[in-house]
Chains A and B, each alone.
Chain A
C-alpha cells in the first residue's frame, strides 16, 4: 500500500526509515518526517508490518562513557506545613525530596520511578526551578548550579532545560493556536528572526509528526496523542540539552503511548537531548532509560543500569515494585506472579520513619533499620543501593551488610572495635571501586582494568 501514495507532500515513502535503528547507532539516520507512522491525518496509507516494525525502536542502550549534563547532589525540598490558627507558625515540613544525588548523562536518559508521593515529580520541578530547592546543588553542563542561580540568571538556562508534562489537555492554553504555542518560546528567547518564526514552527510540527499546515488550529482540534506531540514540539523549539519528561505518556491510550515513546527516542538520537524521564510505569521506563533510579518517600533507594535493576535488584522495595507489575507473559503460565507483598500505605512524608524510611513496610526489617539510615552505597560498577540487608530476592543476608562499612555492630549501635570502611558516598556518579556485599569488602576496577580488593580493617 505504502508505495502507492506518499504519506505527505515532501516526505518520501518511508523505506528510508527502515535504517532508523537504535539510537546508539551513529550511522542510523532516523526519519523524522515520519508522520506516516503516527498518522497525523486519518486518511493516510498504512505501512506494511515490516516498515512499521522498522520504525519501532528497541530499548535505548547505555553509553557508559557519556559525560553528565546534569549532576544533582544532596538535593532537598522541604515544604513547610503551617499550623492553622491566627498566627500561622511552621509546625513541620513535608520532606518531599530529602538529599538525593544522581546524574543524567549527556544525550542519555535517567529514569526516575516510584509510587505517588515519592518525590519524583518534585525533583523534576526542582530541576526546572518551578520550585526553589531547600538545599543541595544541581550542576548543569558542568558549570552552573541551578539550585542557586537567580530567576534572572535562570532565564537563558530555560532554553537548555525544557519540560514535557503529563496532561496533554491542561498543559496547552486552549485559546492559543498551535502556532502560537510552539512559536512563543521562539519569540521570547529570540531564537529566530520574527519573520522566520512561522517557518520554524512548521518545521517543528513536522519533526514531531504533525501536519505543518495545522499550525492555525487550536488544541481541542487534536487528539490526546497529538496534543502531547504539540507539547513536545514546544519543548523542542528551544533546542534543549535536557528534557524533564514528567509522566509524558501516562494519560494516553496504550496504542498512542508507543507512538510518543518512539518519537522521543527519535528526537533524543537526532538532537542529542538528555532526558530525565519521570514515570510510574516501570515497563515504559525500562524501555526508554538505560539507567533508572527508584525513589521511596523522598529518597533514592536504588539506582542501577537497566539489566541490574530489573533482573537483580537488591532493594526490597525495588523487588516489591517490580514483582507487582502484572506481566502479560503470565498468560502462558496462568495465575498470578510470585511477588513480594507490601502491606499498608506509604507513611506520611511529614513524619517519615526513623532510620530506613522503607522499614515500616519491609519484610526484612530488623533492629538496625530503625536506628541507622542506610547510606546509598555503590555495590557494583553501576549499581547503588540503600539497604542494610541488600541482596537479590531470596538471597537477602541475615546480617546487615552495612555494619562493617559504617563501623556498627549487628544491631546498629556503634562498634568501637570496628573501623568504618572508607567507602564514602560516591556522589552523583559512580566510582571505580565499590563495596562487594557478598564478600563484605571493597572491590573495583584498577587502572589496569583488573579487579582488586581491599579487606576491611577490624
Chain B
C-alpha cells in the first residue's frame, strides 16, 4: 500500500501487547419516552489484528449497537455509554466528536448491511469513495483521491473500475454495491473492519464471493474483523472466535470450533436447532426457540433467556428466574465462557439435544 497514515496510539498498543480492540464492561442505554432501553449490558470482548470475531444474535440482541459504539456513532445526547472501548490503545468512550472523527473510517471502518440504503443514492460511487479518502487525507488532491478510488474498486473485483467509478449506486448489482461498500470501508487502510450483516440481502453465490473477498483482504492487510450476523454458517466459515449475544448480553464466548461443536448455552442450542442445514441429517428435527426476543425496556429477571429456555427444569430452585448467571468458563476450559446455570451443559447437548437435531453427528462426538 502506498498510502501512509498515522494512527493515534498505534505504537502504544503495539508496545503493550494488548489486542487491537478491547471492549470492557460496555453498557449502552437509550433513554426513551417509555423508559430506559438497556441495549447492551456489561459486554466485554477483544479482537486481535489478523483475527475475526463473529457476533451472532437475533434482532435486538445488541450486536449492532455494541459495534456502533466502537466508532462512537451513538449520539451523545440520546445515549448513555459506560465501560471502556480501546481501539488501538485509544479510549473511545467519552471521546469528543472532534477526536472521534479521525478514528472513524480510518482506524476502524464499518461495512453495513443493504448497501443500496447505506450508499447515498444521489452521489456517484466514486465521489462517495473519494469523500471517504479525502476526509482523512486533506492534503491529497481530488485526482489522487479518484485514482485511489479506482484502485480500490479494482481491488474488490469490480470490472472496468475506471468506468464504473462514475456510476450511481443504483446502477450497480447487489453484489457489486456490497463490493463498493467494502472498497469505501477499506480506502483508508483501517486496522479494524466491522461488517454488520454484510451478506444478508445477497444471494448465496454472491455471499460466498463477498466472504472470499473479506478473507482475502484480511490476509493481505492483516486487519482485525468483526462480522455481525445471524447466520451460524457464516460464523463457522469466517470467524476465529464467536460471541453469542442475547438480550444485550454476552451469553457465550469462545473459539469458533470449540463453541459450535460443544455449545454450552441453551440459546446457542436453540440457534442451532432452529435453522436447517444443507448437509444435515433429514432425520434431524427443526426445534424452534419458543416465544419472542425479550423486551429491553423491562428485561426478565434472572437469566435473560429463561422465559424461552427449554432446560430451566434441569436447574434447581428456580435459579434461572431469580439469579443472573455469570459469564464463566464451563467444563471445557478457561477460554470457553458461558452464561448458564446448567451444571453439565455439554452432556445435555450431547445426550439430549444432538440426537434430536443432528442424529448423524452423535457418533462422531
The stretch that binds A, out of B9-17, B107-115, B173-181, B329-337, is B173-181
Chain A residues with CB under 8 Å of B356's CB are 53, 56
Assembly CA distance A39 to B308 (angstroms): 9
A49 closest partner in B (C-beta): B310
Would B260 and A341 count as touching, CB distance under 8 A?
no
Q: Does A253 contact B (CB under 8 A)?
A: yes
Residues of chain A from 247 to 294 with CB closer than 8 A to chain B in the complex: 253-259, 261-262, 280, 282-284, 286-287
Chain A residues with CB under 8 Å of B83's CB are none
Would A254 and B230 count as touching, CB distance under 8 A?
yes
Assembly CA distance A253 to B289 (angstroms): 11
Would B231 and A326 count as touching, CB distance under 8 A?
yes
Would B237 and A56 count as touching, CB distance under 8 A?
no
The listed residue (A36, A50, A52, A328) touching B233 by CB distance below 8 A is A328
Q: Does A324 contact B (CB under 8 A)?
A: yes
Q: Does A48 contact B (CB under 8 A)?
A: yes
Residues of chain A from 38 to 94 with CB closer than 8 A to chain B in the complex: 38-39, 42-44, 46-53, 55-59
Q: Does B261 contact A (CB under 8 A)?
A: yes
Chain B residues with CB under 8 Å of A52's CB are 287-288, 290, 310
Would B205 and A321 count as touching, CB distance under 8 A?
yes
Assembly CA distance A345 to B59 (angstroms): 30
Residues of chain B from 255 to 270 with CB closer than 8 A to chain A in the complex: 256-257, 259-261, 270
B258 closest partner in A (C-beta): A331
Chain A residues with CB under 8 Å of B284's CB are 58-59
Q: Does B33 contact A (CB under 8 A)?
A: no
Chain A residues with CB under 8 Å of B120's CB are none
Chain B residues with CB under 8 Å of A44's CB are 291
Chain A residues with CB under 8 Å of B212's CB are 336, 341
Would B286 and A262 count as touching, CB distance under 8 A?
yes
Given the known A-B contacts A38-B290, A57-B286, A335-B237, are A329 and B208 also in contact in the complex, defined by CB atoms under 8 Å?
A: no
The listed residue (B59, B206, B257) touching A334 by CB distance below 8 A is B257
Would B233 and A330 count as touching, CB distance under 8 A?
yes
Chain B residues with CB under 8 Å of A331's CB are 235-236, 256-257, 259-261
Q: Does A371 contact B (CB under 8 A)?
A: no
Q: Does B58 contact A (CB under 8 A)?
A: yes
B355 closest partner in A (C-beta): A53
Given the known A-B contacts A253-B58, A325-B233, A345-B175, are A115 and B203 also in contact in the complex, defined by CB atoms under 8 Å?
A: yes
Chain A residues with CB under 8 Å of B257's CB are 331-332, 334
B272 closest partner in A (C-beta): A328
Q: Does B309 contact A (CB under 8 A)?
A: yes
The listed residue (A46, A55, A286, A345) touching B309 by CB distance below 8 A is A46
Would B211 and A336 count as touching, CB distance under 8 A?
yes
The listed residue (B173, B215, B236) touching A329 by CB distance below 8 A is B236
Query: Smallest distance from the beta carbon of A70 to chain B beta carbons, Å?
Result: 24
Query: Smallest distance from the beta carbon of A303 to chain B beta carbons, Å?
Result: 17
Given the known A-B contacts A115-B205, A326-B237, A331-B236, are A255 and B288 also in contact in the complex, defined by CB atoms under 8 Å?
A: yes
Would A282 and B278 count as touching, CB distance under 8 A?
yes
Q: Does B207 contact A (CB under 8 A)?
A: yes
The listed residue (B215, B271, B278) touching A327 by CB distance below 8 A is B278
Chain A residues with CB under 8 Å of B312's CB are 1, 46
Chain B residues with CB under 8 Å of A258's CB are 273-275, 286-289
Would A49 and B353 count as touching, CB distance under 8 A?
yes
Would A342 and B292 count as touching, CB distance under 8 A?
no
Q: Does B25 contact A (CB under 8 A)?
A: no
Chain A residues with CB under 8 Å of B234's CB are 326
Given the known A-B contacts A1-B313, A329-B236, A342-B205, are A310 and B278 also in contact in the complex, defined by CB atoms under 8 Å?
A: yes
Q: Does B5 contact A (CB under 8 A)?
A: no
Would B271 and A254 count as touching, CB distance under 8 A?
yes
Q: Does A445 contact B (CB under 8 A)?
A: no
- Counting chain B residues whose Cβ lies within 8 A of the other chain, the interface size class is 35 or more
Q: Does A354 contact B (CB under 8 A)?
A: no
Chain B residues with CB under 8 Å of A345's CB are 173, 175-176, 206
Residues of chain B from 185 to 223 with CB closer than 8 A to chain A in the complex: 203-209, 211-212, 215
Query: Smallest distance from the beta carbon of B113 to chain A beta carbons, Å?
Result: 14
B352 closest partner in A (C-beta): A49
Q: Does B293 contact A (CB under 8 A)?
A: yes
Chain A residues with CB under 8 Å of B278's CB are 282-283, 286, 310, 322, 325, 327
Query: Smallest distance from the beta carbon of A291 to chain B beta carbons, Å?
Result: 13
Query: Smallest distance from the beta carbon of B199 to chain A beta carbons, Å?
Result: 9
Q: Which of B58, B234, B236 has the most CB of A within 10 A?
A: B236
Chain A residues with CB under 8 Å of B285's CB are 53, 56-58
Would A330 and B289 count as touching, CB distance under 8 A?
no
Q: Does B232 contact A (CB under 8 A)?
A: yes
Chain B residues with CB under 8 Å of A282's CB are 204, 278
Q: Does A339 contact B (CB under 8 A)?
A: yes
Query: Smallest distance from the beta carbon of A44 to chain B beta carbons, Å?
Result: 7
B230 closest partner in A (C-beta): A254
Chain A residues with CB under 8 Å of B102's CB are none
Q: Does A37 contact B (CB under 8 A)?
A: yes
Chain A residues with CB under 8 Å of B209's CB are 341-342
Query: Smallest distance from the beta carbon of B164 to chain A beta carbons, Å?
Result: 13
The listed residue (A37, A284, A287, A335) touching B290 by CB distance below 8 A is A37
Would A46 and B286 count as touching, CB distance under 8 A?
no
Chain B residues with CB under 8 Å of A351's CB are none
Would A336 and B237 count as touching, CB distance under 8 A?
yes
Query: Smallest distance from the beta carbon of B177 to chain A beta carbons, Å?
Result: 11
Q: Does B325 contact A (CB under 8 A)?
A: no
Q: Does A320 contact B (CB under 8 A)?
A: yes
Assembly CA distance A255 to B273 (angstroms): 9
Q: Does B94 contact A (CB under 8 A)?
A: no
Q: Does B277 contact A (CB under 8 A)?
A: yes
Chain B residues with CB under 8 Å of A256's CB are 288, 292
Q: Does A190 contact B (CB under 8 A)?
A: no
Assembly CA distance A38 to B274 (angstroms): 12
Assembly CA distance A326 to B292 (angstroms): 26
Assembly CA distance A257 to B287 (angstroms): 10
Q: Does B78 contact A (CB under 8 A)?
A: no
Would B309 and A327 count as touching, CB distance under 8 A?
no
Would B277 and A42 count as touching, CB distance under 8 A?
no
Query: Smallest distance from the beta carbon of B175 to chain A beta carbons, Å?
Result: 6
Would A330 and B291 count as touching, CB distance under 8 A?
no
Mark each residue of chain B from 40 to 78: 1 if its CB lies under 8 Å from any CB of chain A, else 0.
Answer: 000000000000000000110000000000000000000
- Given A58-B285, A255-B274, 13 additional A-B pairs, CB 8 A: A56-B286, A115-B206, A225-B292, A256-B288, A258-B286, A283-B276, A286-B278, A287-B286, A322-B278, A326-B233, A327-B236, A331-B261, A332-B257
Question: Residues on A close to B: CB < 8 A?
Answer: 1, 36-39, 42-44, 46-53, 55-59, 115-116, 223, 225, 253-259, 261-262, 280, 282-284, 286-287, 306-307, 310, 320-322, 324-332, 334-337, 339, 341-342, 345
Question: Considering the complex of A and B, which 3 residue pairs feature the smallest CB-CB distances, nearest first?
Answer: A326-B233, A39-B291, A258-B274
A-B contact pairs, 17 of them (CB 8 A): A36-B290, A52-B310, A56-B288, A59-B276, A59-B284, A115-B206, A225-B292, A255-B271, A258-B288, A321-B204, A325-B204, A325-B233, A329-B277, A329-B361, A330-B233, A336-B211, A341-B208
